[in-house]
Structure 1
Amino acid sequence: AHRGFPIYRVPSQFLMLLAGQAPLLFIAAMYDSNTTGQLGLALMALGFPLKLFGNTLAKAFYAEAANLGSKQPDKIRVMLISVVKRLAIFAVPPTLVLLVFGQEIFTLAFGEEWSLAGTFSEILAIYLFFQFMQTPVAHVFYIFEGQKQLLFLNIQRIGLVFVCFSFVYLMDLNSEMAILTYSIMLSVHYLLSSIYALKFIPKN
């Protein structure tokens, strides 16, 4: 079972990194350098707390779940639901603050010239909420030898990003509508990935 592990995990990690950088690459190709810089700041500022708190909880979940082992799926399912709920509760206040005051916060912190980054942060708030909730999900596939399924989810994600920006290009949408389309598509992807992970955990 472990022989196939790198075959799936290496491309999976690569696609995950590519999907993370793809929005900036597409925005750089389709809009001006100022818009790209504004999005870069928004993603960097919002991504830091996500990585810090989300990954810490996800690693704690993985350590505990791996300790239980794949022979106790029911306990792992209960634990996953509990962690996702805690992440959701933790994420609600900052998501609401960003939705309402994102532009004001960025203008105050970085100056008037970065107000578009604040607008992008408002649009990305819901997507980041679902991304934050989904941080422990990948570990489920590691525990139950679902590297192939995780690779499929990462292929699906990068595919959605391409579909999203192809649609944006064909419809000649402005940068705000482009980020809104991306935010909605990826929110749906993260939600469905979480449901799929729960269903992937075997029943005793």
Structure 2
Amino acid sequence: MSNFIGNVLKLVSGSVAAQILGILLVPIVTRIYSPDDMGVFQLFVAVSGILVIFSTFSYQFAIMLPKSEEDSANVFFLSSILVTFISILIAVAVIIFPEDIEHIIEYIFHTKGSSKYLIYLPAIVFFNGLFFVQNYWLSRKLRFGVIAGSRVLNALSAKVLQLIPFWTASPLGLIVGYTLGYGLADLSMLRGVKEDFKVFRKISVKKMKEMAIEYKNFPLFSSWSTLANTISPQVPTFLLAYFYSTSVVGYFSLANQVVNMPMGLVGTAIQQVFFQKISEVKNGNSSGDMKAIVSEVYKKLILIGIFPMILLLILGEEIFTFAFGKNWYVAGTYVKILVPFIFLVFLALPISTLYSIFEKQKVWFTYSTALLISRFVALAIGGIYAKSAEFSLCLFSFTGVIFALWNNAYLLNLVGISKRKSLEILIKYTAIGAVISIPVILLEMLSANFYIIILTAIIMTPIYYGIALRDDPTFKKIFSAFLVNIKNRT
């Protein structure tokens, strides 16, 4: 478990400063770009994210699984070739059929002018696809420091490039900065991948074909499951644009981004190390109790995430208005609606790799498809029968909560953890967080000065984690090691 904790710390502490700086730059971005600009940008991100899933056919997930380095290297090159090929196909389509694609986009999303940014789609699909492929190879090689460095570069460069004055205050600046951020991150990762050129000499077309057949369940089931999981969070982007406006999409985008940025930092870091550790245990290359590892990780995720989520439920609008300007008050309301769902997704992110470990791709595909359909139906009902985007998002969030609860229970059950045990942990830390946040709730009800409320929240935060530290010796070790790591870096 100590190696597991150390690798997580490499990913988290190695990029924490850059992530904080990236979050601090968001208020500047929101004062340069309008909600409408952010909405068009989010549509671009949503479309490119779906295409990225097709670009690898989910073979990147198989990079971690082979016992031999030669087999893994062949899967790595297979994934890279697929990314390149799909990116070229997209480029050909965008160049040859620009008007047809423009008419389709305007018809579906009720937006004009957004199609002129499609020329950047092949680049972002290529850079983003390679980013995923290299991530899994470097995770297999335990080069988590390289991954952390690339994330630093990606997070910072994207935000900084979006602020460069010569970009016009339009979706173009957001899109180009986002694209180049991934490109620079790929170059950073490539330096770490270079160390394995000896292994790559054993690559052959014949072997790649063998690996493609051996891991055929990934394109047959995982790719569609991943596609469904990618489309699911993007469904609001598409349907909010269709039923309402790109400004509403912009509000939703900011709300989603601000909460998911720090949560994603921790969750994704734990996911990569968790996947590598569990894969070793399953293959017999490492000692450890799978049930104990999963239980420990799940408990830590609840402990880390519950209190910030409670604070957002209480102070959503006030925080967003203060941080991003009066134009973004509505995004704070959206955050309060989405918080329960986002928190449960945060819990599921690392342990979702158990679908691949236990080769439950068919279950994942069925679950992902059902989730996608339910979200589409919920938002369609809201859009047709209600003029309020908030009502539609409430239906979306409620659907997500129901499915996430089932998903988490199923994954924990795969390693023998009962639903009752996982629920007890969730209730325990929710109760602690709720009790400690009472002063903040009372001040909010009394309409106290915002700065007094924020100061109280800041004071209550270390109190919550202090109680959690005393109650959980393992987390105390993690936190102490984290502080030492930060101190050494500074």
TM-score normalized by the length of structure 2: 0.39
Asked if 1:151 corresponds to 2:339, the answer is no
Structure 1 residue 86, shift from structure 2 partner: 0.7
Going from structure 1 to structure 2, the CA distance change for 1:180 and 1:7 (only over 3 Å counts) comes to: same
C-alpha distance in structure 1 between counterparts of 2:301 and 2:416, whole Å: 23
In the other structure, the counterpart of 1:113 is 327
Deviation at 1:149, TM superposition (A): 1.2
Q: CA deviation at 1:48?
A: 1.3
- The structural deviation recorded for 1:202 is 7.2
Alignment of 1:75 onto 2:289: yes
Segments of 4+ moved more than 3 angstroms: 200-203
**AA in 2 matched with 1:50:** M
Decide whether the 8 Å contact of 1:70 with 1:144 is kept in 2: no
- Matching residue of 1:193: 407
Find 2:233's aligned residue among 20, 30, 34.
20
Question: Whose Rg is larger?
Answer: 2
Q: Aligned-residue CA RMSD in angstroms?
A: 2.1
Does the 8 Å contact 2:291/2:416 carry over to 1?
no
Identify the match of residue 348 of structure 2 among 113, 122, 134: 134
Q: Using the TM superposition, give the Cα deviation of residue 136 of structure 1 relative to its aligned residue in structure 2, in angstroms.
A: 1.8
Q: Deviations over 1:140-197 (max 9, x none)?
A: 1111111111111211210111121122134325111111111111011111001111
Inter-partner Cα distance in structure 1 for 2:387 and 2:281: 49
Question: Which 10-residue stretch deviates more, 82-91 or 27-36?
Answer: 27-36
Segments of structure 2 that go 5 or more residues without pairing to the other structure are 1-213, 418-490
Could you report, residue by residue, the CA deviation over 1:98-151 in whole angstroms, capped at 9, with x for unpaired residues?
Answer: 001111111011101100001101111111111111112321111111111111
Q: How far apart, in 2, do the equivalents of 1:138 and 1:152 lie?
A: 14
| 1:24-63 matches, cutoff 5 A | 24-63=237-276
**Counterpart among 68, 93, 97 of residue 307 in structure 2:** 93
* 1:174 alignment counterpart: 388
Deviation at 1:200, TM superposition (A): 3.3
Q: How far apart are the structure 2 equivalents of 1:149 and 1:201?
A: 16
Q: 1:113 to 1:144 in 2, by over 3 A?
A: same
Whole-Å separation in 1 of the counterparts to 2:379 and 2:303? 31
- The farther-off stretch of 56-65 and 109-118 is 56-65
Among the aligned pairs, what percent are the same residue?
24
- CA–CA separation in structure 1 for the residues paired with 2:374 and 2:380: 10
For the residues of structure 2 that align with 1:107 and 1:63, how far apart are their CA atoms? 41
CA contact (8 A) 1:134 1:191 kept: no
Query: 1:39-72 deviations in whole A, cap 9, x for unaligned?
Result: 1111121221222111111112111111100679
The TM-score with structure 1 as length reference comes to 0.91
